[in-house]
Amino acid sequence: MEPDYSTYRLQLKSLKPDLDEKQIYQMYNGVMKPGRSTQITPYLAEDGYYHGLYLTECLDDGRIYVGKHSTMDLDDGYQGSGYEINDGKNLGKKFKTTWLEFFDSSDQAYVAEKGIVNANFIRNQKLVMNHVLGGKHLDDAKHLDNPKPEIVKTEFSKKVEAFKTPNPDRIEVKGKKKKRGSTFSDLGVNPGEWISFIEDESKKFKVVDDWRVDDHNGRALMLKQILPSLTKKFYGNPLSAFAYNGKCLAVIQKELRSN
């Protein structure tokens, strides 16, 4: 039977508390896969992104989450998309994230994630926060029989959920009609074209459809979902934070509405 990565890591950390996460990763990765050399020095791949594996540890209970992330900024604050991390932050839990290893492409990183976040790894829920097999980009991940506990929705949470859901039609709000936001098509940006972050034009995102862009991690997200990982600055209109062909999307929106 394949050894359990998380158990081995916990044992190693208790025996060698002076080691940092990268050193622990190198040691248990070497034990599990003899002959494999890990590249822990960050480097940009040919597409201009860092493609790496990271480990996020909950400082409250010591449980870990291993995932893959592609980014232009190693300090973008990303700690994982697992619901235990997102829900934990809302509950005030603290997390520490460490880059573990880097690869030449996003697909190579997903293959490595698949090898580590396997069935043995995620079955040990006393030690890990992952609930889905790694390598989901390869279209072969499967949920185990360990679904997210049902959450009782309050009226407030229902309103928040409705707000997060894009609605291309007009929405009734207290008897008044509220115009829907401008789609990328409205602004003259077609799927497959690129927009840039206005504070750092090197950070570009490909438009997926009328409402969402590719976050470079295999997900299609709305602009307001992308912003927290890019800046701490508040943008009342997310379009104000992005530009198309050097022109702010909010300016394009304003010009269209004034015509």
User: What CATH number is given to the structural domain containing 121?
Assistant: 3.40.1440.10
pLDDT in tens, 155-200: 655 655 665 555 544 444 445 444 556 899 999 999 999 999 999 9
**Contacts by 78-81, CB closer than 8 A, 24 or more apart:** 78/54, 78/229, 79/54, 80/54, 80/56, 80/129, 81/217, 81/219
What integer pLDDT is reported at residue 82 of this predicted model? 81
Q: pTM for the whole thing?
A: 0.51
Q: Looking at the structure, do residues 108 and 183 belong to the same domain, yes or no? A: no
Alpha-carbon gap, residue 20 to 176, rounded angstroms = 57
Q: Looking at the structure, do residues 133 and 214 belong to the same domain, yes or no? A: no
Task: Specify if 39 maps to a domain.
Answer: yes
Total tally of structural domains belonging to the chain? 2
Domain range spanning residue 10? Answer: 5-138
Q: Looking at the structure, do residues 77 and 199 belong to the same domain, yes or no? A: no
Q: How confident is the model at residue 218 (pLDDT cuts 50, 70, 90)?
A: confident
Q: Are 52 and 101 in contact (CB under 8 A)?
A: yes
Q: Looking at the structure, do residues 125 and 21 belong to the same domain, yes or no? A: yes
Domain boundary among 138, 166, 196: 138
Phi, psi of 234 (to 5 degrees): -90, 130
Q: Looking at the structure, do residues 109 and 183 belong to the same domain, yes or no? A: no
11 compared with 152, residue with greater pLDDT: 11
Alpha-carbon gap, residue 39 to 131, rounded angstroms = 26
Task: Specify if 54 maps to a domain.
Answer: yes
Q: What are the helix (H) ranges across 33-80?
A: none
Tokens of 236: 């009342």
Contacts of 39 (CB under 8 A, 6+ apart): 101, 102, 103
Q: What are the helix (H) ranges across the chain?
A: 5-15, 21-32, 83-90, 106-116, 119-123, 155-164, 223-226, 249-258
pLDDT at residue 137 is higher than 60: no
Task: Specify if 103 maps to a domain.
Answer: yes
Task: Specify if 105 maps to a domain.
Answer: yes
Residue 167: how many CB atoms within 10 A of its CB? 12
Q: Looking at the structure, do residues 26 and 121 belong to the same domain, yes or no? A: yes
Q: Looking at the structure, do residues 188 and 96 belong to the same domain, yes or no? A: no
102 compared with 138, residue with greater pLDDT: 102
Task: Specify if 11 maps to a domain.
Answer: yes
The residues with which 200 forms a beta bridge, in sequence order, are: 197
pLDDT at residue 140 is higher than 60: no
- Tokens 């992952």: give the residue: 130
Task: Specify if 164 maps to a domain.
Answer: no
- Environment class of 113 (CB within 10 Å of its CB; exposed 0-12, middle 13-18, buried 19+): buried
* DSSP states of 144-200: -S-PPPP-PPPHHHHHHHHHHS--SS-EEETTEEEPPPPPTTTTT--TT-EEEETTE
Q: Are 13 and 21 in contact (CB under 8 A)?
A: no
What integer pLDDT is reported at residue 173 of this predicted model? 47
Task: Specify if 150 maps to a domain.
Answer: no
Q: Looking at the structure, do residues 188 and 127 belong to the same domain, yes or no? A: no
Q: Looking at the structure, do residues 41 and 121 belong to the same domain, yes or no? A: yes
Q: Looking at the structure, do residues 108 and 184 belong to the same domain, yes or no? A: no
Q: Looking at the structure, do residues 129 and 14 belong to the same domain, yes or no? A: yes
Task: Specify if 183 maps to a domain.
Answer: yes
Domain boundary among 108, 123, 138: 138
Domain boundary among 87, 109, 138: 138
Alpha-carbon gap, residue 32 to 118, rounded angstroms = 13
Alpha-carbon gap, residue 97 to 55, rounded angstroms = 6
